[in-house]
A and B are shown apart, each in its own frame.
Chain A
Amino acid sequence: MSSTGPERYRHQPGDPRPPDGERGSKLLSPLRAEGGKSVAIAVVSTVVFFIVLSLIVVNSPGWAEVKLAFFSRSQFKVSFPEIARAFLVNVKLFLISEVLILAFALVIAVMRSLPGPVFFPIRMLAVIYTDLFRGIPTILVIYLLGFGVPALGIEGIPNSRFFWGVVSLVLVYSAYVAEVYRAGIESVHGSQIAAARSLGLSRGQSMRFVILPQAVRRVIPPLLNDFIGLQKDTVLVSLIGLVEAFRTAGIDSAATFNFTPYVALAVVYVVITVPMTRFVDALVAKDRRRRQAGNAL
């Protein structure tokens, strides 16, 4: 049994993926271990703590201004439905990009795994692509493509902002996802390839039926992490003028000099991304347990 998992990544600022290491929530487990009395103490202490904290916040000088600017109830009521509707544009951006990324990144990863000297130029192309688009800030790619290409005025080239938004996100995220796939491909033990080839399967057939199904299964958690990052990055497309949730919040905010619309958008994001992150963490933990059990056999 091989114990080599997908390549571990080092966390860098701005990387949408969370840092490596223990990621399961350890908030509640000590309580569960200690039983009823400690649960009661935790509840009382939590209630007291938050009452004190909110009293301090509410009685701080300037709280009235903060509340008005960020947490205006009336503004929230007006903005939230608009922003939620505009968020559908982000969802559309995300869904279309995600499907394209999954396919395109797989092509890049397979290109990079082609063996032999004949395929050197193809491998090189894949390496240059992943290096380049992992190195350039997403916002630059969006600007260059979203403003730059339509400005050329070449006939037949679409000038839809939505289109160039999708293209930019696909280019940037495919570079990351291709690396995730590649780590997965490399984590499948060489003996699997030997077994497949020894049965007369061609290189392509071995890849398709034996290597990729195992590789993709192993990288589902990191893939999901990348897609949480992608969801958040869809707001960047607003900067080339696409009217989506962030832009809508900006318009609302500028009209009233109030920041509550941005808070409303933040709420939308939190509601969606926090459960997804928890789900991924649970998957990772389950995967780790399964792998440890496998090694123990």
Chain B
Amino acid sequence: MKRYVIVGNGVAAAGCIEGIRSVDPSGGITVISEENRAVYCRPLISYYLEGKTDLDRMDYRSGDFYERSGVRVLYGRTATHIRPDSREIELDDGTTVPYTGLCLAAGSSPFIPPFEGLDTVKNRYSFMTLDDAAALERELRQKKRVLIVGAGLIGLKCAEGLAERAASVAVCDLADRVLSSILDAECAAVMQKHLERHGIRFYLNDSAVRFEENAAYMKSGAVIPFDVLVLAVGVRANTSLFKEIGGEVNRGILVDAGMRTSVADIYAAGDCAEGTDISSGQKRVLAIMPNAYMQGHTAGVNMAGGREVFDKAIPMNSIGFFGLHAMTAGSYEGELYEEKTETSLKRLFTKDDLLKGFILIGCDERAGIYTSMIREKTPLSSVDFDRMKKAASTAAFSAAERRKKFGGVV
């Protein structure tokens, strides 16, 4: 009988479980879960702080998920070593778990730069897990001044989430703009202005030289007083287990389109894996939830002897702050098409007869049609792109293509 082991218990693991069970109803599945809780929706931790959801509604799957799927979960356990020759995983309690197929879905960890004086800051948090969010919630029962280091997706969602709870929120970043991983300068400026209107203060193109318990001394000379510090500088893929057995690792664990790693019977999925971004053709860690699920599912199917390929991965984010949504996908290369209004900004990037990427701020209608064109590599010459670029619509496809999309089962 097959024995599947999954390291990690996030969305990639859930995808892996469902992938395995779509092929193999009976093989044993063991999940090694560092966190003492069932799989939950990590990106909702900022919504939790904001009061838009609660613990009951943050479960990713129903309460009987593991039981129904025949999964044994080892809570509070950490995998310490892989023994690829004997096909075993060693745990922190000294026990070992044998596997016929292993999926590394270990996620990522917050990266903490070696700031001088950081040790003196007592009220210091990361913003990755539900425990982090719950700790911040406790800390903010009284209104306090918060400084967030990092103006990326995590830092800014955190800022939005605690804006109502905090006395003030300041955000600093080494980058010269907010959301620098997904927005260009002009689009970032639009989002920044909107965030500022909601009381968030920014110190960009600046970094902390030194911390004291309640103050950050910035390179620019600014001194930012705070009661609570949140470090959201970035994350690093958890690759060490795999690295130490000599597996191929770049920023993440390198995988092919079937989520196979360089070591036999070992797969990887989610934020710890590095697959191909088909919009740029480059290997890239795509730490986004849809990707985690789809990679996990593909790994699961293939571990169980089925055949699944996930060769449509692209970066894509839908992120809103105080009611203004920014949607981004793909790579910003090639020719630019732009449309601006008082309340919206649209940028489409085309190259070699393909839509390569887009940024949409405040104009998200039917955006998925653009996303699908990037994922499916739809030739621009096969659609009425002059029409499509003004407004995403299936009306810009040929009648035959529309019949396919709307006339049958898809």
Answer yes or no: do A and B interact: no
